Amino acid sequence: MAIRKTGPTYEEIMNELHNKIYRPVYFLQGDEPWFIDQITDYLQNMVLDEAQKAFNLFVFYGRDTDMATIINTARRYPMMSNYLLVIVKEAQALKSIDELTHYLKTPLSSTILVINYKYKSLDKRTSLYKLLSEKGYIADFPKLYEDRIPKWIVQYLNSRKASIDPDAAVLLTEYVGDDLSKIVNELEKLLIVLPENKRTITTSLIEKYIGISKEFNAFELNKALALKQVVKAYRIGKYLADNKLLVVAIPSMYSLFSKILLFHSLPDKSDKNIVAAALRINPFFVEEYRQAARNYSPSKARNIIALLREYDLKSKGMGNVSAEPTDLMKELLFKILH
């Protein structure tokens, strides 16, 4: 699910936790908080029972504590428990984080120290990073690129013994974006209503229970543009503009035409898997991009990308005094399609 940059992956950590294998230190860093929160919540909920928590669970916040307090607490021994659990949230606000090296040289095996270092990453040149890395205590969770979200959704649902149609995964990504917490919230709503004998999320299910239109969305607009379905593109474009969704539609179109341009540059366009990897898409959609490349030459795709930049600014009021969103969308689609 997560991109591996340094240390153990999310899956490796969770597998260890499920098998009650605990590391003395978890330094969880990066721009994707969902992974960090999941690991931290699991440790907080599963390592100690309620009675043990009273004496052996300490939760600190970076803005309200200091490294000396954290280290002194981590050096205590547990009471009536095998483990002492020390959790530091918002550790990116800590001053003198490098002082952690003093503890890392001789960490207690009976202490589990969990440090949430969100939205930042340690400098790899520091002695702290090197020591954490050598001991396997640091895990990095960068933000997932949006083109990888549909695959992540598939993997998440597999872990919940469910599946999702490729179109539905892309539709949900287009609607929610790259916020994994929001995506999981929407998926959990859908899992509740899935029948036991058919554990597959479809676009119809998303439309019914989340309210995303399976016909009028940025994903369907892209498909209409790729296949040059003029009437359909105008109809969807008007709906999106009327509902103030240019902020979603324009970046989505930019992604489409950037990928079309990239497709043109590929030396080998025959192998579906090679194309899918290069474009960072599901192989299911390769044929659609093949057709789109026939409809838009490289020069046309470049011109459209320039147009999209121009209309993105106009949609935000720059260089546009009076045009309504619907008029802007109509103009833009006309220039793209003709």
Contacts (Cβ under 8 Å, ≥6 apart) of 333: 225, 233, 234, 237
- Predicted confidence at residue 4, as pLDDT, reads 43
Q: How far apart are CA 251 and CA 311, in angstroms?
A: 11
State the alpha helices, DSSP H only, in the chain: 10-18, 33-46, 50-56, 67-74, 100-104, 127-135, 149-159, 166-176, 180-193, 203-209, 218-226, 230-242, 246-265, 272-279, 286-295, 298-315, 325-337
Q: What does the chain come to in residues?
A: 338
Contacts of residue 103, Cβ cutoff 8 Å, sequence gap at least 6: 71, 74, 75, 113
The fold adopted by the segment(s) 146-209 is Helicase, Ruva Protein; domain 3 (1.10.8)
What are the residues facing 85 on neighbouring strands?
57, 112
Residue 7 in contact with residue 14, Cβ under 8 Å? no
Please determine, for residue 99, whether its predicted confidence score (pLDDT) is greater than 60.
Answer: yes
Question: Nearest Cα to 25, choosing from 136, 191, 152?
Answer: 136
pLDDT band at 2 (very low <50, low <70, confident <90, very high): very low
Alpha carbon 11 to its chain's center: 15
pLDDT at 227: 93
User: What confidence score (pLDDT) does residue 3 get?
Assistant: 42
Which residue, 192, 203, 112, is CA-closest to 150?
Answer: 203
CA distances from 63 to 57, 66, 93, 189, 275 (A): 19, 8, 5, 35, 47
**CATH number of the domain at 10-140, please?**
3.40.50.300
The C-alpha atoms of residue 311 and residue 326 are separated, in whole angstroms, by: 12
What is the maximal distance between C-alpha atoms in the chain? Answer: 75
Domain ranges of the chain: 10-140, 146-209, 218-337
| Per-residue pLDDT tens digits for 45-70 | 999 999 999 999 999 999 999 999 99
Looking at the predicted structure, is the pLDDT value of residue 170 above 70?
A: yes
Strands 25-30 and 57-61: unpaired
CATH fold label, 218-337 = Zinc Finger, Delta Prime; domain 3 (1.20.272)
What is the 8-class DSSP label of residue 161?
T
Q: Residue range 124-141: average pLDDT?
A: 94
At residue 320, the pLDDT reads 61
Q: Encode pLDDT of 6-51 as tens digits.
A: 689 999 999 999 999 999 999 999 999 999 999 999 999 999 999 9
Strand order, beta sheet including 111-118: 57-61, 84-89, 111-118, 25-30, 138-140
pLDDT at 7: 81
Q: What is the mean pLDDT of residues 69-90?
A: 97
